[in-house]
Amino acid sequence: MRYVSTRGGVSGLSFCDAVMMGLASDGGLLVPEKIPDISDSLADLQGLEYVDIARRIMAYFIDDIPEDELGELIDRSYASFDDPLVTPLREVGDRYVLELFHGPTLAFKDVALQFLGNVFEYILADRGGRLNIVGATSGDTGSAAIAGVRGKQNINIFIMFPEGRTSELQEKQMTTVLDDNVQNISVEGSFDDCQSILKAVFNDLPFKEAHQLGAVNSVNWARVLAQVVYYFSAYVQLGLPKAFEVAVPTGNFGNIFAGYIARKMGLPITRLILATNQNDILHRFFTSGRYERGEVHFSHSPAMDIQVASNFERYLYFEFGENSRKVEDFMEAFMVSGVATIPFNTLNFDPTFATGAVSDDETLLTISEVYRDDNYLVDPHTAVGIRVGEEKRSGNVPLVCMATAHPAKFEDVMAKVLPDEDISHPTLSALKDAPTRKTVLPAEVETVKKFIHDFNDPVT
């Protein structure tokens, strides 16, 4: 399997090369040159445990890590999860919930970032050198990335997050990690500012090469690949149904794009339900063909407070028939004017997508209703997914809603809805009085680059 850029300037990369490059050097995103169709072998997954499913699925995309060593990386990545199923499927009322929050930071990002951290360490041990990971987070990515690489040899990590725009516990999960190789950068701006800085830093190719930068955001293909696996796990836990639907709370489009890839591989997902909060750029695109940046609205579901979805370009690449020129033209128009449009009658867009946007009031109401009716607690992001999932489901096949975080991570929101309930988790409780460390910087590309440079070479 080889990897190419969505913008056509990079091709022929191995999996390990793609992991280390992160963002493609031409400014695009790396994707497999082909998506394997495994529909004829889906029955072979029956009865397999999560790590065995992961070995099967990942092997289609990774041919430069020996099979036994890949298996060891996968085993190590999921040994820290607190449920033997890794991503257990629960029946909640008349729908199913796939719990993706059983990793060390209680968020779905752990599924990908525990794997990615181990892959980075494996590649560096094989090739030598050092790696400076730079990432941006609106909530859970940062803590999961830090948990994936803290204390690892020859790796430093720099995580940007918007000052005052993540939950207190989300920030503490990052800033209480005091390992020497971990640096938290609190940016005076929005998550989109953080993401713009991230892309600008990686697009400075001399700086990227000089400082050996790597990416853990969902621009890194290894993250998407790790997320593809749990769609197959849901299918196995459902008992290999002939068809099912999936509702996914979505900000950066990575989680639902993994489902899109799983479907292209032959998984019988008949409907991908994209759920967003009032930051509804993706909902507006799928209902109008107009991809337009708007003002960021801060909400009870902060991981989705995003107006530029970084994985959307990968989806466009496949929907444009793998035409990198069309992708480049679309993204250039968007970068210049903040808007790009595709007339729906010019493309055969995948009809399986259904979308919806949820207000804060609807989010709170859904948390309350699910607890009242089903005695089950959901965090605000999962509530968004359930709300839109119920509105857009066909009703003819099982509906799986992705639960992306443990509700205890959002104690203020949960207390507002369910003030009489003790919603906690021992991992989070231990953070409350722990010492913290962060650096506050303005939302300026050069300032962030100087910080990275000075940390690595404080003399010059």
**Coil, strand or helix: which one is 381?**
helix
Q: Pick the closest to residue 410 from 91, 168, 80 (CA basis).
A: 168
Report if residue 398 sits inside a domain: yes
Q: Pick the closest to residue 89 from 265, 276, 240 (CA basis).
A: 240
Report if residue 15 sits inside a domain: no
SS3 annotation, 312-348:
HHHHHHHHCCCCHHHHHHHHHHHHHHCEEECCHHHCC
pLDDT tens profile 252-305: 899 999 999 999 999 999 999 999 999 888 999 988 889 998 888 888 887 787
Complete DSSP assignment for 277-301: -S--HHHHHHHHSEEE-------SS
Angle 254-264/221-237 helices, nearest 10 degrees? 60
Query: Can you give the pTM of this predicted structure?
Result: 0.91
Report if residue 436 sits inside a domain: no
Per the structure, the count of domains in the chain is 1
Residues with Cβ within 8 Å of 288's Cβ and at least 6 positions away in sequence, in order, are none
| pLDDT computed for residue 310 by the predictor | 84
Instruction: Tell me which residues of the chain have a pLDDT lower than 70.
Output: 139, 344-350, 458-460
Kindly provide the b/e burial profile for residues 250-289, where b requires at least 16 CB atoms within 10 angstroms of the residue's own CB.
Answer: bbbbbbbbbbbbbbbbebebebbbbbbbbbbbbbbbbeeb
d(CA 95, CA 271) in angstroms, rounded, equals 14
**Coil, strand or helix: which one is 274?**
strand
Phi, psi of 194 (to 5 degrees): -60, -45
Report if residue 182 sits inside a domain: no
DSSP assigned state of 180:
T
Q: 326 with 320: CB under 8 angstroms?
A: yes
CA distances from 168 to 158, 420, 428, 447 (A): 19, 21, 11, 25
Give me the residue label for tokens 């444009």. Answer: 320
Report if residue 278 sits inside a domain: yes
Q: Pick the closest to residue 133 from 201, 191, 76, 65 (CA basis).
A: 201
Beta-carbon-side half-sphere exposure of residue 83 (alpha carbons within 13 Å): 15
Strand partners, 271: 245
Say how many residues make up the chain: 460
DSSP assigned state of 163:
T
Phi, psi of 188 (to 5 degrees): -80, 80
Complete DSSP assignment for 250-271: -SSSHHHHHHHHHHHTT--EEE
| pLDDT computed for residue 199 by the predictor | 85
Q: 312 with 208: CB under 8 angstroms?
A: no
Report if residue 448 sits inside a domain: no
Give the distance between the most distant pair of CA atoms in the chain. Answer: 65
Q: Pick the closest to residue 33 from 324, 426, 242, 368 (CA basis).
A: 324
d(CA 111, CA 117) in angstroms, rounded, equals 11
Query: Pairing between strand 3-5 and 30-32?
Result: antiparallel
Report if residue 157 sits inside a domain: no
Catalytic residue chosen out of the listed positions 34, 109, 326, 432:
109
| pLDDT computed for residue 212 by the predictor | 92
d(CA 263, CA 260) in angstroms, rounded, equals 5
CATH of the domain at 331: 3.40.50.1100
Give me the residue label for tokens 């509804």. Answer: 280
d(CA 145, CA 152) in angstroms, rounded, equals 12
- Range(s) of the domain holding residue 295: 89-104+222-426
DSSP assigned state of 405:
B
Check if 109 is active-site. yes
d(CA 432, CA 437) in angstroms, rounded, equals 14
Residues 123, 79, 138, 334, CA torsion sign: positive
d(CA 259, CA 389) in angstroms, rounded, equals 15
Report if residue 183 sits inside a domain: no
| pLDDT computed for residue 195 by the predictor | 84
